[in-house]
Structure 1
């Protein structure tokens, strides 16, 4: 097998690692290039298009749409951190990555995940205020408050990511240098460590549970409160519109937390799950929401959809007539 040839011909140091991607597809890895490259292009184009549309369309300069664009920015950032090295590993069969670069990639991945979760909480807060306190919405949900919330989310992300990265950097690596994954995740690196690494596992698991449990609970409580209140005070078309808007955000949040929970469970099971299956669940966790979020918001949010249709119609009008 190609993996064995690489291991035999290369002298490893434990400051450099070999990123293999999907190790059981070494002989047919070119088959993976097309779908993952297509996903990469779709994520970049879909998210970037809607980011551009939100920022150039003045009618979309409200906190709700600014948060949606921030979610797209986080999706693009996380994707650009993961996919380029992985695509190179598919092209060449493997990809060299230093321990410091691996830790930097891990930092950006987890920072993106934590900020994405915070953005979903901010979206729930925005809808809570808009629906339950509509007369005071513009007084409460100001751009200044939005900037403060984003700053808090960024600081929180950095504070929570640092213990994971620092603890992993102190792990003694004495086993294989082959990372049988497409990204530097803490669980993947810890599998290559020696000695007692239970403390590092506990730190990472505690932070993950804290973020997921706290943020998902806040989102669920806020939307349940919205549902309870709107059923009392709103009827007919207004009720349907309020629930439709909330359901869009809920779908995105469910995709995020469900895929993250699935990935975590698969990794915790460990050897009972094939490596490629572990990698596939990680790919779903990191890439699938980023790919479908623009589609969800583009189709379900009326204002965004109308702006896209207006741009399309203007382009059709200005197209030269073929004789």
Structure 2
């Protein structure tokens, strides 16, 4: 489908993702680190999921929440990166309107899900440190299951209305999307209708979902730090801080690109478009790649299980040979 004229209304059948504007000559080279990051994401999160699900000793609330985070990371990256690489390497940017809406839904739903899981993990650490005697009674496997259901339900209910808002729009500009994936605002900016409702809903979603989660996480860690520094023993304080270290790293990697990108969009008239798109790609590349590395290296129990599984595999191989 060819791009439409500025004043002709049409129902988009196919969109064309153009990648990062102004960098077409470098797309092949840009895709190489993106591909390596995606492979690392797939391997790291798949291994983390495998270890947690197969090791009975890791069937604890903290590790089950980590497995949820790994699942959300895999969904977010797999929804976006393969198509991104196809655009960069093969110029295969065609995507149906339904496919674009589906990708948009999973991008934003995965992002909301990750934020909700991080909030649940902050609550887990708060109970473990501030009320350890009630930890096993408050955070049972049943409660973790309900948290998982709440994560899915919340993400679906927040993002699903975007599908209806976009489907009601009339498009009259072009079907060329100057981006690597189908983000909500990238699509609606092609509409010739009033998009005020879309803008306000997107803003409310960011404030009431992501912003509220960030505030509650900050509040949880404020209470955790107050409790930690009241501990009489220095060793106890260090141990308590160590249990939160990996989670804090993940939180910073998740929210920093999000807030920085949102802030940068406010100055889109002075910041080049390719910078904004590269910042947006940080959502789907950086946190999913580093999360399994952070948890695999800094969490002793997970690292120990990985090492034991590796030695068992090596032992079986030597016996068979």
TM superposition score normalised by structure 2 = 0.92
Which residue matches 1:109?
107
* Aligned match of 2:124: 126
Partners of 1:53 and 1:307 within 8 A in 2 = yes
Cα pair 1:115 1:153 within 8 Å, conserved: yes
Please, which moves more after superposition, 159-168 or 98-107?
A: 159-168
Segment of structure 1 superposing worse, 49-58 or 266-275: 266-275
Tell me the CA shift for residue 227 of structure 1.
1.3
| 1:31 corresponds to which of 21, 24, 29 | 29
Structure 1 residues 235 and 103, CA, compared in 2 at 3 Å: closer, same or farther?
Answer: same
1:136-160: CA deviation from partner (whole Å, max 9, x where unpaired): 2111111111111221221111111
Unaligned runs of 5+ in 1: 1-5
Per-residue Cα deviation, 1:204-238 (whole angstroms, up to 9, x for no partner): 11111111221111111111111112222352222
List per-residue Cα deviations over 1:157-201 (Å, max 9, x = no partner).
111112223212222211121111111001111221113212211
* 1:235-290 deviations in Å (ceiling 9; x for gaps): 22222111111122111112111111112222333343222111110111221011
Task: Tell me by how many angstroms 1:64 deviates.
Answer: 0.2
1:184 aligns with 2:182: yes
Partners of 1:14 and 1:300 in 2: how far apart?
48
The equivalent of 2:202 in structure 1 is 204
Aligned to 2:141: 143
**Cα pair distance change 1:133/1:236, threshold 3 Å:** same
Tell me if the contact between 1:26 and 1:93 (Cα under 8 Å) persists in the aligned partners.
no
Q: 2:65 aligns with which of 64, 67, 73?
A: 67
Would you say the 8 A contact 1:263–1:285 is kept in 2?
no
**1:315, distance to aligned residue in structure 2 (A):** 4.0
| Contact 1:187–1:267 under 8 Å retained in 2 | no
Counterpart CA distance in 2 for 1:308 and 1:237 is 27
The answer for the alignment partner of 1:239 in structure 2 is 237
Q: Distance in 2 between matches of 1:75 and 1:210?
A: 22
The answer to whether the Cα contact below 8 Å between 2:34 and 2:285 also exists between their aligned partners in 1 is: no
Query: How do residues 1-323 of structure 1 correspond to structure 2 at under 5 angstroms?
Result: 14-318=12-316, 320=318
SS of 1:276 mapped into structure 2 = helix
Q: Matched residues in 2 for 1:305 and 1:266: separation? A: 37
CA distance in 2, matches of 1:243, 1:229: 11
Distance 1:183 1:267 in 2: 16
Distance 2:73 2:255 in 1: 14
CA distance in 2, matches of 1:200, 1:226: 38
The structure, 1 or 2, with the larger RCO (C-alpha pairs under 8 Å, 6+ apart) is 2
Question: 3-state DSSP class of the match of 1:24?
Answer: coil
Tell me the distance in 1 between the aligned counterparts of 2:95 and 2:308.
Answer: 45
Superposition TM-score, scaled by structure 1 size: 0.91
Task: Provide structure 2 residue ranges, at least 5 long, that are not aligned to the other structure.
Answer: 5-9
Cα RMSD (Å): 2.0
Structure 1's 177 and 287: CA in aligned 2 closer, same or farther, altered over 3 A? same
Whole-Å Cα distance in 2 between the matches of residues 166 and 272 of structure 1? 32
